[in-house]
């Protein structure tokens, strides 16, 4: 059985690669008692940061060809083999359809969007509010930084991006297993981005779940390769994805917003390690970067719990972690574990 195939639909709804229950009103009723009894520090009691990004750093390419600026949660600026790509940016105060209620960010954005360097591409993995910020996209779409950028996303999300001001001609939608090439500013620099299945769901309201596609991605340059897991629960496809490649320099897997009630759509730290192990030699040849944590309270666990748990089990499983300080452009050249969150 192969998991690496185009997405399938039931009517107008996209299907997960394996049977998955995302929960409805029944899950809400099950979660409410846990919410009422919860005493975990789900948001920091003390102010966090501020953290700052120095935009002048981007005037000099990374010496080793691979540099990451992590903006918190799953948002990051990836510089890889001469190509610069912004992934799942969210500068909003809240990961919510309303900016007066919903999950509030723990610390301020590390730079102004106006200071964003020239981008070759913007990648949006799916349309959830903590990955696709409408105000962020509207601002970015009008900046010189994105004038020549490709906007790459999953099937169905282009309509949302067009509504936020992104020109139709600049958008490329990918089905699972489809690829697109992105050219860098330097002659000959290019990046191949391939969409792969993930176990999650989509939607920005109650009535549009599964109407657009969600995905993970491999970003492949001449020298470096990165796996961006985006949002996903554990499933058996990790090994098959990794088997297509000899190595990943960096594997980005989510560790936050997990709970037993929705374990099918989020990994958490234990299943992130399980997924990393399932990806075998290709993943272990490089480093594991935890994402989807540290910026918003989207679960019932203490906000530090995912990274504390990952630190423990990664050490027990001899996994090399790469976890930088927020907002700091950092070259990927060996294990790194910045404990800013302590």
H helix or E strand, kind and range, residue 122: strand 121-124
CA distance from start to end of the chain: 44
Q: Helix 268-278 and helix 305-316: axis angle, to 10°?
A: 40
Instruction: Assess whether pLDDT exceeds 70 at residue 41.
Output: yes
- Token pair belonging to 284: 């272990």
Please tell me the predicted confidence (pLDDT) of residue 91. Answer: 98
CATH number (3.60.15.10, 3.30.450.40, 3.40.30.10, 3.10.20.30) of 63-337 reads 3.60.15.10
Q: Smallest Cα–Cα separation from 79: which of 253, 330, 268?
A: 330
Please tell me the predicted confidence (pLDDT) of residue 35. Answer: 57
What number is the average pLDDT over the span 7-23? 93
Please tell me the predicted confidence (pLDDT) of residue 261. Answer: 78
Please tell me the predicted confidence (pLDDT) of residue 18. Answer: 96
Q: What is the pLDDT of residues 210-228, one digit of tens each?
A: 999 999 999 999 999 999 9
Domain extents in the chain:
63-337
Instruction: Assess whether pLDDT exceeds 70 at residue 334.
Output: yes
Please tell me the predicted confidence (pLDDT) of residue 105. Answer: 97
Hey, is 27 helix, strand or coil? Answer: helix
Cβ–Cβ < 8 Å for 154, 125: yes
Rounded Cα–Cα distance for residues 66 and 52 (Å): 20
H helix or E strand, kind and range, residue 219: strand 216-220
Rounded Cα–Cα distance for residues 282 and 280 (Å): 6
Instruction: Assess whether pLDDT exceeds 70 at residue 30.
Output: no
Rounded Cα–Cα distance for residues 168 and 170 (Å): 5
What string of DSSP letters covers 229-277? --S----TTHHHHHTT-S--SEEEEE-SS--GGGTTT--HHHHHHHHHH
Please tell me the predicted confidence (pLDDT) of residue 26. Answer: 53
Cβ–Cβ < 8 Å for 55, 64: no
Facing residues of 168 across strands? none
Q: Where are the beta strands (DSSP E) in 11-103?
A: 13-14, 66-72, 75-80, 83-87
- Token pair belonging to 253: 């897997």
Instruction: Assess whether pLDDT exceeds 70 at residue 45.
Output: yes
Rounded Cα–Cα distance for residues 302 and 259 (Å): 12
Quote the pTM value: 0.96
Cβ–Cβ < 8 Å for 169, 210: no
Please tell me the predicted confidence (pLDDT) of residue 260. Answer: 76
């Amino acid at each position: 059985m192969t998991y690496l195939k185009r997405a399938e639909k039931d009517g107008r709804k996209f299907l997960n690669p394996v049977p998955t229950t995302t929960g409805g009103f029944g899950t809400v009723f099950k979660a409410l008692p846990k919410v009422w009894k919860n005493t975990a520090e789900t948001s920091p009691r003390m102010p966090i940061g501020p953290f700052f990004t120095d935009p002048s750093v981007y005037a000099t390419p990374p010496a080793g060809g691979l540099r990451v600026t992590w903006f918190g949660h799953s948002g990051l600026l990836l510089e890889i083999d001469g190509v610069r790509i912004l992934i799942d940016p969210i500068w909003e105060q809240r990961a919510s359809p309303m900016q007066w209620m919903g999950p509030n960010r723990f610390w301020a954005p590390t730079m102004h969007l106006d200071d964003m360097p020239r981008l070759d591409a913007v990648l949006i993995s799916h349309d959830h509010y903590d990955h696709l910020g409408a105000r962020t996209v509207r601002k970015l779409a009008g900046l010189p930084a994105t004038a020549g950028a490709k906007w790459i996303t999953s099937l169905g999300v282009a309509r949302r991006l067009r509504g936020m001001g992104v020109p139709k001609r600049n958008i490329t939608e990918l089905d699972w297993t489809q690829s697109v090439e992105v050219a860098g500013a330097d002659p000959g620099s290019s990046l191949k981005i391939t969409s792969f299945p993930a176990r999650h769901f989509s939607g920005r309201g109650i009535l549009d779940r599964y109407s657009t596609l969600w995905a993970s991605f491999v970003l492949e340059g001449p020298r470096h390769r990165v796996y961006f897991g985006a949002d996903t629960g554990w499933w058996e496809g990790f090994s098959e994805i990794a088997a297509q490649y000899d190595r990943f320099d960096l594997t980005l897997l989510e560790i936050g917003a997990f709970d037993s009630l929705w374990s099918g759509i989020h990994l958490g730290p234990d299943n992130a390690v399980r997924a990393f192990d399932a990806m075998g030699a290709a993943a272990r040849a490089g480093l594991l970067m935890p994402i989807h944590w540290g910026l918003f309270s989207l679960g019932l666990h203490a906000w530090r719990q995912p990274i504390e748990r990952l630190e423990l089990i990664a050490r027990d499983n001899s996994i090399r972690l790469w976890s930088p300080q927020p907002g700091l452009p950092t070259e990927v050249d060996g294990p790194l574990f910045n404990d800013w969150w302590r």
